[in-house]
Structure 1
């Protein structure tokens, strides 16, 4: 279930006047708007608020031309400027920040995903700065919105209502504040309207900025067309939306819990698989010790107390007894070509496979030590993605770059490739624990090669792989349906 789309559908119904029934006894919103316009003119005359740059007297402004869509007859169209004033933020300097004070600066990062979050990297200024910039002090029920983000990504214009708190909150630059000057607008209703798809489409059509940074201006925001229902209907809409959103929250929590359960189930399946508890054993299967002797006739099974309860026919060895763990070569960027032999780098490992659609190439390499073949399992050995793995599935050869390891099977008649992959999936948490034990995430080929490997008979390896894949397919189907 796409709960994000469901929320937008509910908001869409609300701003079109289709979420709750109209009451003919409600005072029409046009009457309400006239009172608000009169109040605005009074405040302007008294010097308490300023008229926006492009606004004429509100009483002379038509609101009914070229409306975006039809709304109930008791509603009225207006510009956002008719019902709110705008306050921009102040450019507080980072060198004036202090660790703690009574004056917290609200920055873009504090308004995230339509929530005001005060404990995200909070910054403060001294009392003297706070008191000299009281013009930017926020009030209860102010509506904040972020004015800058990534161009074309719609990752801003988040809105949030300021709650009743004891802290002094100061508005930083690139965070806008909308302040209603009448109690005849339900603030929660207005917040919800600003989250609607219609408003987002309209506001982002005015986006300016450069290649990477997008900006929304105050004039574009104040010029938004907003449909206002009667005040009592505003209240009913808010109650109805909150009811539906609470239900969606429960669905999302259930979805999150189920996803977590599925992840834990997969981990448990892998654990059962490599301990001989997933499929029944067949006494007619060739013992694993014989598989190891094909690789090394002098092989001696490991004596490891952790695996004393393995089924008969299994053997304990090291991963290095079955696979050669190869490191990549430190190719220079000067070696990169636009064509030739693909070079697999960490960035090419994705979603348990290798993607070479966007890779660099090398030429004239004669050392086969760094060659990758179809079926090899590659692993990121350092950096933020340490432990990420993928199977190379291409017929064409490729070469291995530094910081990528290759877990290459020594004898495929002793170790079924997909069983190796299952085993390595089961070791991800251990790999991450080791890798993040130092200053920089890193794991060595020798550490990986020294992992204990419970090896089942070859035919049982195949049965385990088939069972794991069947169960995982079923779990993935459940995940995709959420």
Structure 2
């Protein structure tokens, strides 16, 4: 097994609950989902985010099958064929679009000095490495992808996507920035998902190798909806931390 194959194997084991032992004393992921719903409702009430068009909840029925319930319409459908692998007790499945903000916007003073990150300053591989240029917000607030401290970014275009160009942005000047439009940005709701667990998910074979692209041979991007509809395995928060620590130890 090559070093690259080993890294892929470790990340795949991590998101399937096979990398670290489960602890029955951990608060289950269902509690995290409830916290996310509460935080989203608060932000909608404060007009900081828009209300979702058709949110859903995924649950396991008495027949052991997985179902998705759309909360506005009340429609329920079996999604067994979509479930990619089994997860441990205490974990939950959710659609990416239901548990993260995607491509949020920044509002700040035009004269503020912020980070600008073109694609070449975002490193490929399995770490979280990047550099930035300092520029005034007025120069980049339009026609670029916004992000802030704590956001997770990944390249949506080939071959940068397959090369795992992705990172958790931290210690940005004045806490915000913008970059290439070929980035997708994810923002967590409160402290419900460990940002590095999400980063390692985005680098996992399950996320990378199942992607569908469109465009010309030289410039393809992941299709609209691939990220939003992707099923995300959520461990208890304490286990997320243990997973991240184990990955970084290895």
Give the TM-score category using the shorter length: 0.7 to 0.9
Q: For residues 219 and 42 of structure 1, do their structure 2 counterparts lie closer, same or farther at Cα, with a shift above 3 Å needed?
A: farther
Question: Structure 2: how far apart are the matches of 1:127 and 1:187?
Answer: 25
Question: Structure 1: how far apart are the matches of 2:47 and 2:35?
Answer: 18
Question: Structure 1: how far apart are the matches of 2:2 and 2:35?
Answer: 41
Question: Structure 2: how far apart are the matches of 1:136 and 1:149?
Answer: 18
Higher strand share: 2
Structural mapping, 1:115-264, within 5 Å: 115-118=128-131, 122=133, 125-130=135-140, 137-150=146-159, 155=162, 158-166=165-173, 168-202=176-210, 204=211, 206-217=212-223, 219-244=225-250
Deviation at residue 83 of structure 1 after TM alignment = 1.5
Paired position in structure 1 for 2:6: 6
Question: Structure 2: how far apart are the matches of 1:30 and 1:185?
Answer: 12
Structural mapping, 1:54-453, within 5 Å: 55-58=53-56, 60-61=69-70, 65-66=79-80, 67-87=83-103, 102-114=113-125, 115-118=128-131, 122=133, 125-130=135-140, 137-150=146-159, 155=162, 158-166=165-173, 168-202=176-210, 204=211, 206-217=212-223, 219-244=225-250
User: Which protein has the larger Cα radius of gyration, Structure 1 or Structure 2?
Assistant: 1
Matched-pair contact (CA < 8 Å) for 1:189–1:238: yes
Structure 2 unaligned runs (5+)? 58-68, 71-75, 107-111
C-alpha distance after superposition, 1:460-480 (max 9, x if no partner): xxxxxxxxxxxxxxxxxxxxx
Q: For residues 6 and 48 of structure 1, do their structure 2 counterparts lie closer, same or farther at Cα, with a shift above 3 Å needed?
A: same
SS where residue 158 of structure 2 aligns? strand
SS where residue 148 of structure 1 aligns? coil
Deviation at residue 117 of structure 1 after TM alignment = 2.0
Q: For residues 31 and 159 of structure 1, do their structure 2 counterparts lie closer, same or farther at Cα, with a shift above 3 Å needed?
A: same
Root mean square deviation of aligned Cα: 3.0
Paired position in structure 2 for 1:314: none
**Paired residues, what number?**
224
Matched-pair contact (CA < 8 Å) for 1:75–1:229: yes
Deviation at residue 183 of structure 1 after TM alignment = 0.6
Question: Structure 2: how far apart are the matches of 1:112 and 1:146?
Answer: 10
TM (normalized to structure 2)? 0.78
SS where residue 220 of structure 2 aligns? strand
Q: For residues 63 and 107 of structure 1, do their structure 2 counterparts lie closer, same or farther at Cα, with a shift above 3 Å needed?
A: farther
Question: Structure 2: how far apart are the matches of 1:34 and 1:49?
Answer: 18
Q: For residues 106 and 50 of structure 1, do their structure 2 counterparts lie closer, same or farther at Cα, with a shift above 3 Å needed?
A: farther
Q: For residues 29 and 213 of structure 1, do their structure 2 counterparts lie closer, same or farther at Cα, with a shift above 3 Å needed?
A: same
Matched-pair contact (CA < 8 Å) for 2:103–2:146: no
> Which has the bigger relative contact order, CA under 8 A and spacing at least 6?
2
C-alpha distance after superposition, 1:47-69 (max 9, x if no partner): 212356xx513455479722111
C-alpha distance after superposition, 1:279-299 (max 9, x if no partner): xxxxxxxxxxxxxxxxxxxxx
Higher helix share: 1
Paired position in structure 2 for 1:25: 25
C-alpha distance after superposition, 1:30-88 (max 9, x if no partner): 22212212322332343212356xx5134554797221111111111111112211117
Matched-pair contact (CA < 8 Å) for 2:162–2:208: no
Give structure 1 regions of 4+ aligned residues with deviation exceeding 6 angstroms. Answer: none
Deviation at residue 116 of structure 1 after TM alignment = 3.9
